[in-house]
Amino acid sequence: MPSTTAVVTSCTQRKSVPRCVDFAQLPQFPNVTGLAQAWQRLLRTVSPAGAAQSVYQGRSIADAATAASHLGCPWYVVSGGLGLVRSEEPVPAYECTAAGGSELDGRLKRLGVATSDWWTAITTREPQPLTRLISRRPVLLALPGSYLRMVRDDLAHLSATKADQLRIFTSSRGARFVPEHLAHCVMPYDDRLEAVPNYAGTQSDFAQRALRHFVEALDAASLTLEEARAAVLRALARRPRRPRSIGERRSDDEIRSVLTAQWTRHAGSSTRLLRYLRDEAGIACEQKRFRRIWQSLSAELRA
């Protein structure tokens, strides 16, 4: 890929400044268009907190920024609250994510619409921003499944002739949300990446770790699509797969105690707390069970 390449990553709930607007502040609306317009009006009532590259925090952001720096190229953030944001663009401190279990996710389900409809609604001023970006320049797109599901309809507009400009980094689950005509653009990374020194991590930052490995260790950004896929497969060929772990079983009270201890660190976010429970604490907890415990604890702590 030429020097005009761009890196695109997902936003994070972890931010360097306290949130000043929260999606939960909005009243109920009968359709996704009204909901999106109300959210955008609310965003306009607050001043930017800083550039996106300094507001968004966490390993996934750091790895994407490192990959872009290595290539000397611009990078962008796919935000569930703002749309497609360039790294140096000023953004407010906000709370809005389309991740499963979030306030937005619940609202959309009650309206009977998908997160892809939300993406369309918040990008009406610049429709299909990802498709337009990829049509202009090669793009390294590192997104988890929840974000690929959100931008799927946008990516579906990318023509087959422009598809060779795209490299997608995601988990095997995330790959299921890629439009069929772009499936060959997914780089074949899997859990063998965990066996590569300096590139192991949690599932939540898998896409960005794979991106950084592709750029730094393989120096594969300039390769053709077929060459790039082959380079990834060669790099992982002799790496062992990570043993599958079901996690340690704990009682509801024990899980509640763990969540209480981690509540402030993760700002009470159900998505971040579930990831902590599974990826860091190694505790098994089915999603519905976790949701029940989290809702009870949330009501208690915020009373």
pLDDT for 303 equals: 59
Task: Kindly report the pTM of this predicted structure.
Answer: 0.82
pLDDT in tens, 8-48: 999 988 888 887 889 989 999 999 999 999 999 999 999 99
Tokens standing for residue 229: 């896929």
Looking at the fold, whether 204 and 257 belong to one and the same domain comes out as no
CA angle 40, 291, 269 (to 5 degrees): 45
Residue 242 lies in a domain: no
Does residue 177 share a domain with residue 291? no
Put residue 70 in one of left, alpha, beta given phi > 0 → left and psi -120 to 50 → alpha: alpha
Q: Is residue 163 domain-shared with residue 284, that is, in the same domain?
A: no
Is residue 285 a contact partner of residue 246, using CB atoms and an 8 Å limit? no
In a domain, 228, yes or no: yes
Residue 1 has pLDDT above 70, yes or no: no
* Number of domains into which the chain is organized: 2
Whether 69 shows a pLDDT value over 80: the answer reads yes
CA distance 299 to 303: 6
Section 73-86 average pLDDT = 97
Instruction: Share the mean pLDDT of the chain.
Output: 91
- Length of the chain in terms of residues written: 303
